[in-house]
Amino acid sequence: MIRKAFYWADAQALCFWKNAMSGLGVAAFGVLLALLASVVVLGNDRDEATLRHLKEVLWPRAYAEQDVKLLDSILAPEFCRIDAAGNWSTKNDELEYISKNKPKYDSLVFSIKRLDVFENGTAIVAGEGRVKGQDEAGPYAMTYQSTNVLIKRNGAWKAISSHVSGVKRTPAQERGPSDDAGSRR
């Protein structure tokens, strides 16, 4: 039944384009295509800005502030996370974790290195996280790589997968007040 619906939609689209070509002139059709292309580009720019804000601001804030409601709004029901050790966790695992575990770091900044939005409503957001903190061993700095897959569902971007790798922890040198300027979000 679903396949028939797709075929019907394809047939309708083909009829539309045939009628457009014969009813409009070539110039008018070119203008129509240019308008459609600009709508796609504007939509893509909005999606990229939304995804950037989600990954660089909202997602770190949810963990830093133990905001279960915010993280719940970011993660899709089928969300899975694979950590650097290969352990898997679900959305419910992540929500439970942040509700019970106060962050042990002072700052977390995520820098996007790859952001691709695909025409099927899927996005890849990958980059590097930089963490600074202090624990029983003293001050430390840590970096990690993260790749996230998001889908656009009912107009909202939802994370369905996250993979963390390349975790590197080093003792931090003594930091002055200016070292953390702008790193808190």
CB 21 within 8 A of CB 29: yes
Average pLDDT over residues 88-101: 97
Q: How far from the centroid of its chain's Cα atoms is residue 149's Cα?
A: 7
Prediction pTM value: 0.69
Q: What confidence tier does 33 reach under pLDDT thresholds 50, 70, 90?
A: very low
Backbone angles phi, psi at 78, to 5 degrees: -90, 10
- Non-local CB neighbours of 4 within 8 Å, separated by 6+ positions: none
162 against 2, higher pLDDT: 162
